[in-house]
Amino acid sequence: MSRTLVVTVIATSHILLALAACGDMNTPAADGGWSDGATPVDPADAPIGDDAGASDDGGAACTLGQLSATAVAMADPSILLVADGAAIDRHDGSTRQLAWARLTRGFVRSMVTAPDGMVYISSDHGVYRADTRDTSPTVETVAEFTAPGYEPAYALAVAPDGTVFHADQRPSGLVVVAIPPGGLRHDVTTAPLPGVPGGLVVDASGDLLMLTLFGHALWRIDLDDGRREQARRELYQVTGASGLNYGLALDDAGRALVSTSSTRRVIRVSASFDSEEVLAALPDVIVPTNMAFGRGCWGETSLYVAGFPVTRIEAGSHGVP
């Protein structure tokens, strides 16, 4: 049975309203404590880890403390990035660097790291990046959205070769844009996407897997033929999802992991896309959003879910590279 580690929060309605209104989301958890006895750390304190390196069974050795986030990301060797509003904190397993990076426009909606150590960040205005290896990074603008808004802001993915994919608004609707390393930014789809994306990942075949924000559907987009409507194929309707679906991840067995806001669950869909199971219930988490598998001392089989508070789940599998 999977084990869910949760920090308790006060479930106040203004937090939900703040998320919907894109307001300041710097709302710390009211009470700390992990069920395995790890000591929570106040967000104002610098140390956030109590051991170096993951445990022998692949579990996490570093502890979260009291954290809330609109997005999370992981980078090698043991870097956890936590976004809250426009600011991103950096945790390296021993210290927490507050406001390591900050957007000057909008709030962080999604983050994903590339093999070269860069983290890509999306907001309501565009896509940005920063070097996770730098303790005082410059936040660079990668692309500005044609029409600012939440619709393209949650769709962000990176391929093993470093190509970054994001969504953008066109007169005909939302499309996917690719930014290859050292290459030119270009549209890879022209027909409108089948709904507003709540999550976007690159699967083992090199195609895109998309989760719709409102419709609870998983779609595959064939990038070799992405300009045609036929390139889009609905794979599965997530029956256990309701409300908004902000998070999508893949494990090394090809299974899709979906976070859903109303039922407050992480649902795992089979690699054949014909069944699903509840990986974890998150009854004390307000607005679970995007997810990232741990690295280094954060535990490579641990799945971290952004929300109020950030939650660690023992997934029993690794994330895709």
The residue ranges of every structural domain in the chain are 4-314
Q: How confident is the model at residue 230 (pLDDT cuts 50, 70, 90)?
A: low
- Largest Cα–Cα distance of the chain, in whole Å? 53
pLDDT at 1: 42
Q: Which of 145-149, 153-157, 286-290 has the highest mean pLDDT?
A: 153-157
Cα separations (Å) of 74 from 35, 63, 112, 268, 275? 23, 14, 8, 20, 28
Q: From CA 166, how far away is CA 159, in angstroms rounded?
A: 12
Q: From CA 194, how far away is CA 233, in angstroms rounded?
A: 9
pLDDT at 316: 93
Query: Quick one: how far is CA 179 from the chain centroid?
Result: 19
Is the pLDDT at 277 greater than 90? The verdict is yes
pLDDT at 213: 85
This prediction has a pTM of 0.81
- Taking residues 125-145, what's their average pLDDT? 95
Pairing of strands 126-131, 118-122: antiparallel
**CATH number at 4-314:** 2.130.10.10
pLDDT at 4: 41
Q: From CA 67, how far away is CA 232, in angstroms rounded?
A: 37
Query: Quick one: how far is CA 266 from the chain centroid?
Result: 13
Give the percent of the chain with pLDDT over 90.
45
Cα separations (Å) of 246 from 67, 180, 277? 18, 25, 18
Q: Which two tokens stand for residue 99?
A: 């406001």
